[in-house]
Structure 1
Amino acid sequence: MDNKKIGALGERRAVEFLKRNNYNILAVNYRCRQGEIDIIARQGNTLIFIEVKTRSSLKFGMGMEAVNYVKQQKIKKVAMNFLSEKRTVFTDLRFDVIDIMIKDRDTAEITHIKNAF
């Protein structure tokens, strides 16, 4: 399976996981000039920007390790664009990372890091 298919599978698994855990999905693959955020969700009065990192092996490390300072700053800029575009008020904002290790087509290990940065 190529990297795009692995990434798409991981994002689908992340959305399913979030829905099972009472998150309201507002956007998937939100794009603007500054970049992209994989998932934007709401839980109560909290707006959550979620980066999904999917791996099929540890050859290049865990997915969450790829969300470095530069990536975090880019996600924050995209989040600011989303907030100004939607003009929606939320009590709290949060940035999460969902790390997914694909074992096989039917099995995945999901780690949800809340307030990752």
Structure 2
Amino acid sequence: MFKLGKVGEKKAVKYLISKGYEIIEKNYRCKFGEIDIIARKDDVIVFVEVKTRKDNKFGYGFEAVDRKKINKIIKVAKRFLISRNIENPCRFDVISIDADTITHIENAFLV
């Protein structure tokens, strides 16, 4: 992972904790791919994709979460839930860090 991505993920973790989220896991990997952050808030499991940009010259970070990426995140999330025998409700969020602006999109896409 690029240094910028790691910095963005650290900022996202700090942001989520400040909003009352419990971080369950960072950089969860399986054969289908990776999820940046898995968190819990109010008994809901939240799968978070973090996109970081130093500026918006090439668009905002959240614009990079396309259908292909969404499908991959869903597969990885299912694997995580099955492997941990978790039946909690879940949702998918995107955190876009563009320069110094954090945009948190809750329920960014539905399954």
Alignment TM-score, normalising by the size of structure 2: 0.95
CA RMSD of aligned residues (A): 1.0
Amino acid at match of 1:96: D
Tell me, in whole angstroms, the C-alpha distance in 1 between the residues paired with 2:101 and 2:64: 17
Counterpart pick for 1:116 among 95, 108, 111: 108
Provide structure 1 residue ranges, at least 5 long, that are not aligned to the other structure: 103-107
* 1:48 corresponds to 2:46: yes
Amino acid at match of 2:90: L
Provide structure 2 residue ranges, at least 5 long, that are not aligned to the other structure: none
Which residues of 2 match residues 3-42 of structure 1 at below 5 A? Answer: 4-42=2-40
Tell me, in whole angstroms, the C-alpha distance in 2 between the residues paired with 1:45 and 1:7: 28
- 1:105 aligns to what? none
1:20: Cα distance to partner? 0.3
Amino acid at match of 1:94: R
Counterpart pick for 1:59 among 57, 60, 75: 57
Tell me, in whole angstroms, the C-alpha distance in 1 between the residues paired with 2:62 and 2:101: 13
Q: Which has the larger radius of gyration?
A: 1
Corresponding pairs, count: 109
Tell me, in whole angstroms, the C-alpha distance in 1 between the residues paired with 2:55 and 2:86: 39
